[in-house]
């Protein structure tokens, strides 16, 4: 497949595996999995194309296992990915844009429409995430203190760090 076709199919797959499975008549199980044969059929594509997207995806957004597929993170539908709580690296990063800063510094990072706040292990990744919305601003998260204070962290299969929220006292501009 050409790159642009991989991206287009990846976006369709994300849409149905994260946000609107019902639009294709799919039902995700509690952990976000759906039968791969059914998914391929309802998407109107082929196993080869779906496997190519999973393998070539720039961010490893999907996992195929035991004849099923799921998105690794980013859901807005209710799923419990069943990820273990783990100790985070001492510092994590969040990419955003300047117009959100006043609210973020007042009330902290909130998951907005997603399940969790998404944090990055590297500044580079946070810059990329922030750039989706304009000129990126990177926030540093004092994850060591959060962890010490009892906040839970999880990490998705593709290395995205997840937290329920980040109170403002743990945030500063990078």
Give contact residues for ligand HQG (rule: CB under 6 A): 59, 61, 74, 96, 100, 103-104, 107, 109-110, 112-114, 118, 129, 133, 160
Distance CA 166, CA 107 (A): 9
**Strand runs labelled E in the chain:** 34-35, 62-65, 68-71, 92-97, 117-119, 136-141, 154-155, 161-163, 171-173
What one-character DSSP code corresponds to residue 45?
A: S
- For ligand HQG, give the closer residue by CB, 133 or 174: 133
Query: In the complex, what is the shortest distance from the CB of residue 13 to ligand HQG, in angstroms, rounded to a whole number?
Result: 11
- For ligand HQG, give the closer residue by CB, 133 or 151: 133
Query: In the complex, what is the shortest distance from the CB of residue 131 to ligand HQG, in angstroms, rounded to a whole number?
Result: 10
Residue 163: name the closest of 120, 102, 124, 105 by CA: 120
Q: Please identify the residue of the shown chain whose CB is closest to the bound ligand HQG.
A: 96
Query: In the complex, what is the shortest distance from the CB of residue 150 to ligand HQG, in angstroms, rounded to a whole number?
Result: 21
């Amino acid at each position: 497949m050409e790159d642009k076709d991989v991206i287009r199919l990846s976006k369709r797959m994300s849409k149905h595996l994260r946000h609107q499975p019902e639009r294709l008549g799919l039902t995700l199980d509690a952990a976000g999995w759906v039968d791969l044969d059914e998914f391929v059929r309802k998407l109107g594509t082929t196993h080869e194309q779906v496997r190519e997207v999973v393998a070539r995806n720039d961010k490893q957004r999907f996992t195929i296992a035991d004849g099923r597929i799921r998105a690794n993170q980013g859901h807005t539908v209710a799923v419990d990915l069943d990820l273990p709580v783990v100790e985070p690296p001492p510092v994590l990063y969040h990419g955003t844009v300047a117009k959100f800063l006043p609210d973020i510094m007042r009330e902290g990072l909130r998951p907005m429409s997603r399940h969790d706040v998404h944090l990055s292990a590297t500044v580079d990744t946070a810059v990329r995430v922030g750039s989706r919305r304009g000129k990126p601003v990177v926030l540093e998260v004092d994850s060591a203190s959060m962890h010490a204070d009892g906040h839970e962290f999880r990490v998705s299969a593709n290395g995205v760090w997840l937290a329920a929220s980040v109170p403002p006292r743990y945030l500063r501009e990078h």
